[in-house]
Amino acid sequence: MEFQSLKYIYQPSGKTNAYTLLLLHGTGGNETDLLSLAEHYGHEVNVFSLRGNVTESGMPRFFKRLGMGVFDEADLTFRTDEMVAFIKELSVKEGFNLEKLVALGYSNGANIAGATLVKYPDLLAGAILFRPMQPFKSMPLLALKEAKPVFATSGKFDPTVDPTATVIYMSALKKAGFDVEDHFLSTSHNLTKEDIQLSVDWFVKNFGE
């Protein structure tokens, strides 16, 4: 397969050399889904929102799955490579600093963000992962140039994500050298005000200027 472009929305902040928030939606979402969420992180960040190139029963996704919670890892690998190539092209076209790119992904979007962290560990300046699952059964051994900050929240009552697997995933990221802040919240798969506030505090601490 050849790489294809992704549908996207880019909203520049007007600030020179600003951080760019890369928005990655969940299953059934699109490039508009997380725009209102991005407003919580301030008006001095660029917003770059993508739509996944895969559809499942008419619902956009970033990669295929074989069943609920079972990823098609070959497709995930291809779609991660495709997305990263597109991001690099768009950084030139839209003029944002690729070294100041922070991913924010929810559910399916968090999972391709996680795949990007482990396949391209030096690409993202950091990542916010809402309701993530480990992208690959076998996590690659990484040698990070620096400890990139990663924020993650999971729901204690989430029926789609095994909490034990999440603990193992977060441990793997920490072992790989990422600076991980992770929380288990008293909620399900849906996002809450607590998710947002905790992530905003984390973002300001790590990327506030």
β-bridge pairing 54-56 and 59-61: antiparallel
Catalytic residue among 49, 107, 154, 199: 107
Distance CA 208, CA 26 (A): 26
- Point out the catalytic residue in the list 75, 158, 182, 195: 158
Active site residue 40: no
* C-alpha separations of 70 from 1, 113, 200 in Å: 22, 17, 30
Residue 13 among the catalytic residues: no
Backbone angles phi, psi at 122, to 5 degrees: -100, 5
- Catalytic annotation present for 189: yes
Looking at residue 119, the DSSP 8-state letter turns out to be H
The catalytic site residues sit at: 107, 158, 189
